[in-house]
Amino acid sequence: MKMISWNVNGLRACVNKGFTDIFKELNADIFCVQETKLQENQIDLDLEGYHQYWNYAEKKGYSGTAIFTKKKPISFTTGMGIEEHDKEGRLITLEFEDFYLITCYTPNSQNELKRLDYRMKWEDDFLSYIKELDKNKPVILCGDLNVAHNEIDLKNPKTNRKNAGFTEKERDKMTALLDSGFTDSYRHLYPDTTGVYSWWSYRFNARKNNAGWRIDYFITSSRIKDKITDANIHTDITGSDHCPVELVIDI
């Protein structure tokens, strides 16, 4: 089964930059997007053969997630059941026969880390949420998790230690997640690969210079990590400041 995750940084803008052609070319069984920046009925995507599931933020033009899947799930839920977290359209969970699929757009800690405290609460509540699901059946989590876990995961670690996405607190939360029985699919297959990123700032010619960060992930329950057959980061695909990431898994 082939899965794709992509932070599109505004789906309408991405459609104007070739989203539909890229979608067809990648031909995923499940395609997840984050940061749709949409309200209901603001876009009509003709994706033949796919069921569509959406979660919208209350705030217009902000956040939002969606999943397009060839196979219809058993159930579909939005959010994690905590009102404080569920207003921004950041989470969708689909239940299939053999696994749960979650797409997530983790809150950014923002400039001067003004949202770091909220981010920490989100992290704790989200970990509790996925651990509870994992008791039932394996979990596949994907999305923009807004953290580069280790120094290998960004171009300039030394100058970013106190910046959003690479603080010790955020990195420790990712470590806690993985230590709770989950596996980073890309690092599972490519533990030492350097210079491969999924996000580049629009400033300072960052993408041209490959001054990027790997903050988009597919993470699986560790008990199914041996079913992972490939994990790709499509650095050649443009249309957003992020590129799509891919998981191929025999499940």
Point out the residues that are catalytic: 105, 144
What is residue 83's DSSP assignment? T
Say if strands 30-34 and 2-7 run parallel, antiparallel, or are unpaired. parallel
Q: 35, 41, 30: which is closest to 11 by C-alpha?
A: 35
DSSP run (H or E) holding 19: helix 19-26
> In whole angstroms, what is the distance from residue 55 CA to residue 147 CA?
22
Residue 248 · residue 140 · CB < 8 Å: no
CA-to-CA separations, 154 to 115, 160, 182, 233, in angstroms, rounded: 21, 9, 21, 14
Supply 179's token pair.
Answer: 């230590």
